[in-house]
Amino acid sequence: MNAFQLLRAMNGIREEDVLLAESAYPETRRVKPRRALTLLLAAALILALGATAYAAAIGFRQRQQEAVKEKYQVEENHVESYVEYALPEEAEPGITLLSAYASGGGLSLYFTVSPVAPEDVRDLFMQETEEDGRVHYLMYTAECGGHKHFAHIFTSGDWEYRPEEEYTWVDEGGVELHDITPEGRQRRYLAQSYDAESRALTLYTGIPAAVMPEVDTLTLHIASYDCWEFPEAHSFAESGYETALHQDFGTITVEIPEADVRRLSFPEPIRFDNPDYSGSGELLGAEISAVGITWLFRIDDPEAHYELEGKLPMDVYLRQFSWSLRMDDVLGDAALRFADGSEIACPGFNSYTIDGEGVFHVGDAHWPGTIDLTKLRAVHVSGETFELPAPVSAEN
Amino acid sequence: MEDAAIVELYWQRSDQAIAETEQKYGRYCRSIAGRICRRAEDAEECVSDTWFRAWNLMPDKRPSRLSVFLGTITRSLALDRIKAETRQKRGGGETDLALDELTECLPGGEDPARVVEDRELEAALRHFVAGLPEEEKRAFVLRYWHLLPLEEIARRLRISPGKTKSMLFRTRKKLRIYLQKEGYC
């Protein structure tokens, strides 16, 4: 028997198995009633923008996909849970999915929305003062499961700001901070994230694992809102602030890709106390993806747990901040070690979510781009080193 | 036109049978032949031969799924064509890559002395593929029946090329063990 006989013998597989595979073909996904509407919208778009703009719209989305793929270093670092979506043959108004990346911390989703007016190419750091003196912000959101998550403008590649676009300022604590002017930000967004002809803007959003549904798909409602107060929450555009719907882009349903995560449970939790409040904490383990690490903590202080919606009362905020500093201490010497002997430090964390079982998922990424999970061999934290077995892969 | 109606045209020996088949499945069969044959004109010949063979097989045969029926014919014709060419030289392409990959599944990795009936091997593969989990099955059939490149399979299944490659590697390992267990050595 030879390989040719095997290949030819594939002729004998069941019809339904050939058809099952073919159901993954883009052509078979079309639904006739929608096709009529798609053609109508495509015709309207062509008439409105011209045939060259129509081709440019498709090209823009393809370029954005390439930029996202490059951001994740998909090929170089064998990034498994990165997904690129087939772009529609016609550029339609509304939402176009580009790519997604799934880690243990949640789902990062990249998409375009259109039509967006050039003056709406703004983020939360580009506030405007209105005639009545109120400061106005424009906020893009992705809502799912009753939570509004921020959707940010996606930028890629190198960029050089002009001298007049950069400035420093001193905050209330006397700390000197570096910032970019709203004009500088917009110039970059218009160049890198926006297609003037199709009026498409590239956004991305992150849905934390703690609020992901227990099913294989996620439905997101994408919209922009006017607001007059800067939203304080890390991941949520909360309903406690005054907002007004600015533009509704519709809903999109996404199949959640499988997360490629290496999980580590410590044989014994690493225990610590908080001198500011009674109660103790434990570091239980970690989940490492190509983009970051999520540490799993349990905090034995019910006052430190908070509801995910609404503004935080100041005393709760201070309590959580205190526990955050203690978790920072525990993670101060954290590092990842690789098969080639190299090591990257990953101390501290950026944010956390709390799951239904009261476990704090404390997430951070301390490396640019991605890491190659297949080469990860150990995690060092709080003075101890925990070995990871080499993963089974196509190369092993 | 529905498949049943097209099949009926063949049974009625109608001139319209080939025209309707070409209209509905011409592109499909050309894509299969195009992935196997090295030259466009060879692929075109395979498609034309497919219509001729379908005409000869019906009546007698009344396939329920015309796409699979025609696709299988095209696939066989194209593979036989490159087998003849392969005796002279091998020059790359997805089919050659697929052949190289499937050689891994052969116990010992080389042609054995034992003679295996084609139909028995087809039955074994049918049983193996039928038992695969859905996503693995899709990837395996797209790769080794449709002979699609990895990147295209990844795009259609909405997974990364790396995951596609790993999945196919694991499935080929399973196939190797299965063939050994079934006595194909």
pLDDT at res. A192: 93
pLDDT at res. B182: 82
Q: How far is B142 from chain A (nearest CA, A)?
A: 6
- pLDDT one-digit tens code per residue, A239-296: 566 788 999 999 998 888 878 888 888 999 999 998 888 788 999 999 898 888 889 9
Kind plus residue range of the DSSP H or E element containing A53:
helix A51-71
Could you say which architecture CATH assigns to the domain B3-86? Answer: Orthogonal Bundle (1.10)
Cross-chain Cβ contact B142/A1 below 8 Å: no
Nearest-Cα residue of chain B relative to residue A374:
B162
Q: Does B102 touch chain A (CB under 8 A)?
A: yes
Q: How far apart are CA A223 and CA B153, in angstroms?
A: 33
Q: Are A339 and A377 in contact (CB under 8 A)?
A: yes
> Distances from the Cα of A361 to the Cαs of A119, A319, A379, in angstroms?
37, 17, 17
Cross-chain Cβ contact A13/B129 below 8 Å: yes
pLDDT at res. A377: 92
Question: Best residue in B50, B158, B173 to probe A by mutation, most A CBs within 10 Å?
Answer: B158
Residues in A touching B123 (Cβ below 8 Å): 12
Burial label, B180 (beta-carbon count in 10 A; 0-12, 13-18, 19+): middle
> Distances from the Cα of A225 to the Cαs of A129, A140, A144, A196, B125, in angstroms?
16, 6, 16, 21, 56
Cross-chain Cβ contact B134/A20 below 8 Å: yes
Residues in chain B where the model's pLDDT stays below 50: 90-91, 109-116
Q: Does A14 touch chain B (CB under 8 A)?
A: yes
Residues in B touching A10 (Cβ below 8 Å): 75, 125, 129, 141, 144-145
Q: Does A175 touch chain B (CB under 8 A)?
A: no
Kind plus residue range of the DSSP H or E element containing A271:
strand A262-273
Determine the CATH number of domain B94-181: 1.10.10.10
Q: How far is B107 from chain A (nearest CA, A)?
A: 10
Which residues are bridge partners to A243 per DSSP? A227
pLDDT at res. B173: 77
pLDDT at res. A122: 93
pLDDT at res. A129: 85
Residues in A touching B134 (Cβ below 8 Å): 20
Residues in A touching B137 (Cβ below 8 Å): 17, 20-21
Q: How far apart are CA A279 and CA A276, in angstroms?
A: 9
Cross-chain Cβ contact A17/B137 below 8 Å: yes
Q: How far is B38 from chain A (nearest CA, A)?
A: 16
Q: Where are the domains of chain B?
A: 3-86, 94-181
Q: Are A166 and A188 in contact (CB under 8 A)?
A: no
ipTM value greater than 0.90: no
How many interface pairs between A and B have CB atoms less than 8 angstroms apart? Answer: 141
Residues in chain A where the model's pLDDT stays below 70: 1-2, 24-58, 104-105, 171-175, 209-215, 231-241, 305-315, 317, 349-353, 356, 364-368, 389-396
